[in-house]
Structure 1
């Protein structure tokens, strides 16, 4: 029995050894992956060693080199006498390559230990991931609120070339208080997007999203909002504050306000009332027939326009139709840039209607509202809709708030000239709250982009 156990232990150790060796060989070969620019620098390094050796030989008039070569020649003659050249040659070559690989592995290991002391990922895997992300499509995502930050969490795993253009019309909660007290642009939606795009900096992200629950003047404020407000005062404007915060959070891509103007939303309702303030519009309880802002036609942030012009892919939504999406399009230069681009454009429709904004709206109603806000221009080619109904638990919960699934009226959408992209992109938490699933949503969006891009 003990002999059998001993054999089993030996076999297990051999399998583990083979597994480690196989993994190590795979890691070595990863360094030869195309696009990493490693092979060329390795060849340049070898060339540098040979050139330096030649320079040294010339400098010392070849005398020591001559005797070294003679000594090496004698050793090689002895080796070839001992073993045939077809055995000794490959053997020496193999030894040289193994020494080279060992030296390179130890060098990379030392560098990795300094750069990534936690040792969770090997340096080659980090480089390959970086190479893949920065070769991803240039994407511009337009919106605001929780819908935009949800989408960004999924997209950042596919590309680091992401620009989020965010509305700055918020006047409620912590953002509204800071806007009123300090005269700064509302930082809340921008903070959420920065946290969503943060490169796995878990502690910093939690700090940025931390909300104070006590304290005179602090209660209700998030640390990120206060940080962005302070940075805006130090750097001079919100754009520079966001850029500085992006470095702190190691953000993949960039987050830009749609405008640096102090924008205030207004809405005309079907009953003739005019409501001012982004947070007041959904509470008014009427059907919105027109949306505008004060000042009218605010200037766009130049960096936002540049990002749209350079984009391969533009995604509008998801988010509150009248208080998160359309406010960005009230900046005329942004709407013009989207209309003029050759990039693929898609609108991500909400899963549920929103009380005070889109009660009773179908998918085509959402599309018409966006078209109407830009003078009837078609700013997107396709609409992504969720194709399965939420659970009975969620339907009951939302029905109590007068909210229902957005109905897909296919014929009306087709008549509006939009392609329909149906997908299962729903996430329901244990309380029945319905959201888009970040990973599923991003995967569907990238799959559609890839198909549409190659079909052009």
Structure 2
């Protein structure tokens, strides 16, 4: 009975070993992938062992080494008398290589256990992903609001060299209260972008996005906003506060305010009214004919200008046209830097019109508004437009708020000198809320970038 059990156990172990062996061999060969600089260090290690052995031999005047070699020669002679050298040689070589591979594997396993105790991913897979991401193109994304953070969630799977340039004109909600009470720049959009770019630090991200529901003075504030406000007070400005927060959240890339000036938006409406304040403009319920800011012509953050100058790819939007996108372009140096860039540039148009901002707007109307705000300079070469209409449920839901799909007027867009990039990038939740799908949007943007980049 015990022999039967032993055979069954042995068979089970053999089956498990057969299933595991191809996976392990595949993982071992990954260490030889180009660009990881593993092969050179492995060869240097072997060379170090040989040199150390040679040094020891010279130090002790070769006497013990001579007798060791003689003993080894006698042993090998005995072996070759039993097995021919063309059999014994390869066997000993194979045994040595297996010992070396086993030792290296155990070493890496020990390091992995320390660095990644949860054991969810192999260290080599983490290194390969890191290598791929940090060799990705330098991308600059310009905007604000939920549209920008949605896009960043998709882009970070393609490149870690991302710079998000974010508006600081927000004066509503938690950001507005902190701005009024502490005199700091509004942290809300920056917080959302930091959370979107966080490297899978789920608990920290949830903490950063946590919003207090009770408490005198705390209700309505998010922890991230309070954290950034405190960091701004400690470090002296928002740029340093964001840099410190990026380390805490293990952010891929960087998030930068467009300016460190205390910017306040104003809008002139078609009926002659002048509305001040980012949060008040959509509530005014009129057609916007001109947008500006106080102070006029605020200075750009130098790091933002440097990122645009070095960018391989520039993306504008998605986001609220007048309160998220254009405020960044009201910083003249930002608009100038984009206009002078030779990198492929694309504008991601919104899927739905926005009440109080873009009611009745077509794709060409969105483009004209951006052109008018930047002295009619051509800041982008193409516009990405969603192809399919949302579901009937979504259309009804949005129609109740006087919001409709942005109509693509192809001829007008072509006359404005922009290439149209149609794509299906829509995501609808169970309530009928419409937004861009981060993964689909990023995939289409990278496909267009590859074509534009190689077409140069």
TM-score by length of 2: 0.98
Secondary structure of 2:213's aligned partner: coil
1:348-385: CA deviation from partner (whole Å, max 9, x where unpaired): 00000000000000000000000111000000000000
Instruction: Tell me how far 1:52 sits from its aligned partner.
Output: 1.2
Instruction: Tell me how far 1:276 sits from its aligned partner.
Output: 0.3
Instruction: Tell me how far 1:214 sits from its aligned partner.
Output: 0.2
Return the alpha-carbon distance in structure 2 between the equivalents of residues 113 and 7 of structure 1.
33
1:264-279 equivalence runs, <5 A: 264-279=264-279
Return the alpha-carbon distance in structure 2 between the equivalents of residues 296 and 112 of structure 1.
54
1:143-199: CA deviation from partner (whole Å, max 9, x where unpaired): 000000000000000100000000000000000000000000000000000000000
1:332-353: CA deviation from partner (whole Å, max 9, x where unpaired): 0100000001111000000000
- The equivalent residue for 1:433 is 433
Secondary structure of 2:220's aligned partner: coil
Secondary structure of 2:79's aligned partner: helix
- The equivalent residue for 1:400 is 400
Instruction: Tell me how far 1:9 sits from its aligned partner.
Output: 9.1
Return the alpha-carbon distance in structure 1 between the equivalents of residues 72 and 50 of structure 2.
17
Instruction: Tell me how far 1:49 sits from its aligned partner.
Output: 1.1
Return the alpha-carbon distance in structure 1 between the equivalents of residues 132 and 310 of structure 2.
19
Q: Compared with structure 1, are the counterparts of its residues 454 and 5 closer, same or farther at alpha carbon in structure 2 (3 Å cutoff)?
A: farther
- The equivalent residue for 2:29 is 29
1:378-417: CA deviation from partner (whole Å, max 9, x where unpaired): 0000000000000000000000000000000000000111
Return the alpha-carbon distance in structure 2 between the equivalents of residues 321 and 86 of structure 1.
76
Instruction: Tell me how far 1:3 sits from its aligned partner.
Output: 14
Return the alpha-carbon distance in structure 1 between the equivalents of residues 13 and 407 of structure 2.
60
Instruction: Tell me how far 1:16 sits from its aligned partner.
Output: 3.4
- The equivalent residue for 2:158 is 158
Listed as ranges, the gaps of 5+ residues in structure 1 are none
- The equivalent residue for 2:144 is 144
Return 156-165 or 56-65, whichever deviates more: 56-65
Q: Compared with structure 1, are the counterparts of its residues 412 and 103 closer, same or farther at alpha carbon in structure 2 (3 Å cutoff)?
A: same
Secondary structure of 1:194's aligned partner: helix
- The equivalent residue for 2:80 is 80
1:333-412 equivalence runs, <5 A: 333-412=333-412
Instruction: Tell me how far 1:6 sits from its aligned partner.
Output: 12
Return the alpha-carbon distance in structure 1 between the equivalents of residues 7 and 414 of structure 2.
69
Return the alpha-carbon distance in structure 2 between the equivalents of residues 3 and 416 of structure 1.
84
Return the alpha-carbon distance in structure 2 between the equivalents of residues 323 and 179 of structure 1.
17
Number of equivalent positions: 456
Secondary structure of 2:342's aligned partner: coil
Return the alpha-carbon distance in structure 2 between the equivalents of residues 8 and 49 of structure 1.
44
1:215-251: CA deviation from partner (whole Å, max 9, x where unpaired): 0000000000000000000000000000000000000
- The equivalent residue for 1:414 is 414
Instruction: Tell me how far 1:55 sits from its aligned partner.
Output: 1.1
Q: Compared with structure 1, are the counterparts of its residues 263 and 77 closer, same or farther at alpha carbon in structure 2 (3 Å cutoff)?
A: same
Return the alpha-carbon distance in structure 2 between the equivalents of residues 175 and 449 of structure 1.
34
1:26-425 equivalence runs, <5 A: 26-425=26-425
Return the alpha-carbon distance in structure 2 between the equivalents of residues 36 and 73 of structure 1.
39
Return the alpha-carbon distance in structure 2 between the equivalents of residues 318 and 2 of structure 1.
69
Return the alpha-carbon distance in structure 2 between the equivalents of residues 263 and 294 of structure 1.
6
Instruction: Tell me how far 1:17 sits from its aligned partner.
Output: 2.3
Instruction: Tell me how far 1:79 sits from its aligned partner.
Output: 1.1
TM-score by length of 1: 0.98
Instruction: Tell me how far 1:19 sits from its aligned partner.
Output: 1.8
Q: Compared with structure 1, are the counterparts of its residues 89 and 6 closer, same or farther at alpha carbon in structure 2 (3 Å cutoff)?
A: closer
Instruction: Tell me how far 1:300 sits from its aligned partner.
Output: 0.4
Return the alpha-carbon distance in structure 2 between the equivalents of residues 376 and 7 of structure 1.
81
Secondary structure of 1:165's aligned partner: strand
Q: Compared with structure 1, are the counterparts of its residues 158 and 16 closer, same or farther at alpha carbon in structure 2 (3 Å cutoff)?
A: same
Secondary structure of 1:11's aligned partner: helix
Instruction: Tell me how far 1:71 sits from its aligned partner.
Output: 1.0
Secondary structure of 2:215's aligned partner: coil
Return the alpha-carbon distance in structure 1 between the equivalents of residues 51 and 14 of structure 2.
44
Instruction: Tell me how far 1:61 sits from its aligned partner.
Output: 0.8
Instruction: Tell me how far 1:72 sits from its aligned partner.
Output: 1.0
Return the alpha-carbon distance in structure 1 between the equivalents of residues 42 and 88 of structure 2.
26
1:248-298: CA deviation from partner (whole Å, max 9, x where unpaired): 000000000000000000000000000000000000000000000000000
Q: Compared with structure 1, are the counterparts of its residues 287 and 24 closer, same or farther at alpha carbon in structure 2 (3 Å cutoff)?
A: same
Secondary structure of 1:300's aligned partner: coil
Return the alpha-carbon distance in structure 2 between the equivalents of residues 125 and 295 of structure 1.
49
Instruction: Tell me how far 1:15 sits from its aligned partner.
Output: 4.3
Return the alpha-carbon distance in structure 1 between the equivalents of residues 159 and 8 of structure 2.
47
Return the alpha-carbon distance in structure 2 between the equivalents of residues 375 and 16 of structure 1.
69
Instruction: Tell me how far 1:53 sits from its aligned partner.
Output: 1.1
Instruction: Tell me how far 1:135 sits from its aligned partner.
Output: 0.7
Instruction: Tell me how far 1:7 sits from its aligned partner.
Output: 10
Return the alpha-carbon distance in structure 1 between the equivalents of residues 6 and 429 of structure 2.
50
Q: Compared with structure 1, are the counterparts of its residues 141 and 4 closer, same or farther at alpha carbon in structure 2 (3 Å cutoff)?
A: farther
Instruction: Tell me how far 1:452 sits from its aligned partner.
Output: 1.3
1:289-327: CA deviation from partner (whole Å, max 9, x where unpaired): 000000000000000000001100000000000000000
Return the alpha-carbon distance in structure 2 between the equivalents of residues 31 and 325 of structure 1.
44
